[in-house]
Amino acid sequence: MTGPRYPALIQSLPATVPFVGPETQERALGKPFRARLGANENVFGPSPKAIEAMRNADAELWKYGDPTSFDLRGALAAHLSVAPENVVIGEGIDGLLGYLVRLLVEPGDAVVTSNGAYPTFNYHVSGFGGVLHKVKYAGDHESPAALFAKAAEVDAKIVYLANPDNPMGTWWQGKDIVSAMDTLPDGTLLVVDEAYIEFAPEGTAVDLPVDDPRLIRFRTFSKAYGMAGARVGYGIGAAPLIQAFDKIRNHFGMNRSAQIGALAALNDADWLNHVRAEVAQAKARIAEIARENGLTPLESATNFVAIDCGQDGTFAKMVLAELGKEGVFVRMPFVAPQDRCIRISAGTNDELAILTQALPRALRRARNP
């Protein structure tokens, strides 16, 4: 008796996920975290209107979601001043990245990203047999110029750029990215991940005509809208590219209640502004806590703050582990020199009070193992 006959590509891949979830870590620790500050979730939650809409929708969960996401797609198009044909809805940015890679990448195709940038994109590229080419950060910023130069060198199908960046929280003005695109090779698609755009300063978004075939932008309801568990993301791009997603996407992949909740959240601008204010206050407090402990916070256009621990990645990893022992869940960048930092998500006053007490103890133990 034999098992499944896996393709050689699948046999070559490790059975891993890009991130170890806090729940997995809690099971290993044998207790829950006291402060969940590592996943860049929006602890301030979704709009009460979205919660009510999803609660009301639950009685009809016997229905599939609309495979075209017609209402949400139309509302997003109006919100963005584009046509519905320029918008695709998917299961978070992660799901849409997987669809895009499936759509464009064949085994052996070159794809360019930054070394240390969001690893889920790399996971999808590897899963479809693409060849990843990575460039270094410029300081603590991803470098559009270096990315596009590498794309020209390797004839890349896709270039991935997060703006604002995860894990560092840094950002470029959109006009600077547009200017750098003069060197983007013909036939290379630029993917701009704008998951944190609602927290970013004015002018951060790339401002190009939506039918520009060189670009697709991805956004999400997971961050500012507080609906990470609902898995609702969307892409904005030229109509022919958006239409091509229908060839390969999971047409019934969207949760019906999530579609309805996202529509209600989009229409609640007051709650979005409330969340922005809460996040700004929390980030200021995180930066203050860092400075109180002799650490350096990086300026951030997201809902988290990267904290420079002042040494190398080995030390930062020790700090992270010691915070875990204190019941504080945080994460850190994976690649040097950015791995000198830990990354702390905006939290409630109670969670940040826990961090205030835990961080000096964690630092003391890390410095004197």
Question: What pLDDT digit, counting tens, does each position of 183-212 carry?
Answer: 999 999 999 999 999 999 999 999 999 999
- Predicted confidence at residue 223, as pLDDT, reads 98
Other Cβ atoms less than 10 A from the Cβ of 99: the count is 21
Mean pLDDT, residues 87-94: 98
CATH 3.90.1150.10 positions along the chain are 17-45+270-367
- Predicted confidence at residue 122, as pLDDT, reads 97
Burial of 369 (0-12, 13-18, 19+ CB in 10 A): exposed
CATH 3.40.640.10 positions along the chain are 49-267
- Predicted confidence at residue 270, as pLDDT, reads 98
88 touches 80 (CB < 8 A) = no
**Does residue 1 carry a pLDDT above 80?**
no
- Predicted confidence at residue 2, as pLDDT, reads 85
User: How confident is the model over 272-285, as pLDDT tens digits?
Assistant: 999 999 999 999 99
Residue of 221, 209, 213 lying closest to 94 (CA atoms): 221
User: Which residue type sits at 135?
Assistant: V
Residue of 324, 318, 294, 321 lying closest to 308 (CA atoms): 294
Cis bond upstream, residue 107 (ω within 30):
no
114 touches 134 (CB < 8 A) = yes
Span of 4-13, 83-92, 225-234, 357-366 with lowest mean pLDDT:
4-13
- Predicted confidence at residue 63, as pLDDT, reads 96
To which residue do tokens 């889920």 refer? 120
Taking the C-alpha atoms of 72, 217, 118 and 173 in order, what is their torsion angle to the nearest 10 degrees? -120
**Would you place residue 350 in the very low, low, confident or very high pLDDT band (cuts 50, 70, 90)?**
very high
In angstroms, the Cα distances linking 106 to 11, 100, 101, 126, 188 are: 17, 12, 9, 10, 14
User: How confident is the model over 322-349, as pLDDT tens digits?
Assistant: 999 999 999 999 999 999 999 999 999 9
The rounded mean pLDDT for the chain is 97
**Which CATH number applies to 17-45+270-367?**
3.90.1150.10
User: How confident is the model over 97-152, as pLDDT tens digits?
Assistant: 999 999 999 999 999 999 999 999 999 999 999 999 999 999 999 999 999 999 99
- Predicted confidence at residue 20, as pLDDT, reads 86
**Which CATH number applies to 49-267?**
3.40.640.10
% of the chain with per-residue pLDDT over 90: 96
Residues 6+ apart with CB under 8 A from 88: 73, 96, 234, 235, 237, 242, 245, 249
